[in-house]
Amino acid sequence: MKKHDIKPFDLWKETMHVMGRLGLLLCTSDKDGKPNAMNVAWLTGGLIWGRPIITVLIQTDRHTFNNIEKTHQFTINVLPMEFTDELLHLGTASGANEDKFAKSRLTPVPAQSVTAPLIAEAVVHYECRVVHKNDVIAENLTPDIRLFGTNHRVYFGEIVAASASPNAAKRLA
How is the chain split into domains, by residue range?
A: 4-117+127-172
pLDDT at 98: 66
59-117 confidence digits (pLDDT tens): 999 889 999 999 999 999 999 999 988 888 776 666 566 677 777 889 999 999 999 99
When pLDDT is cut at 50, 70 and 90, the band that residue 33 belongs to is: confident
4-117+127-172: CATH topology: Pnp Oxidase; Chain A (2.30.110)
Helix (H, G, I), strand (E, B) or coil at 57: strand
pLDDT at 118 over 90: yes
Across 25-55, b (16+ Cβ under 10 Å) vs e yields bbbbbbeeeebbbbbbeebebeeeeeebbbb
Q: In this predicted structure, what is the pLDDT of residue 76?
A: 98
- Rounded to the nearest 10°, the torsion over CA 125, 19, 41, 10 is 40
Average per-residue pLDDT in the chain?
91
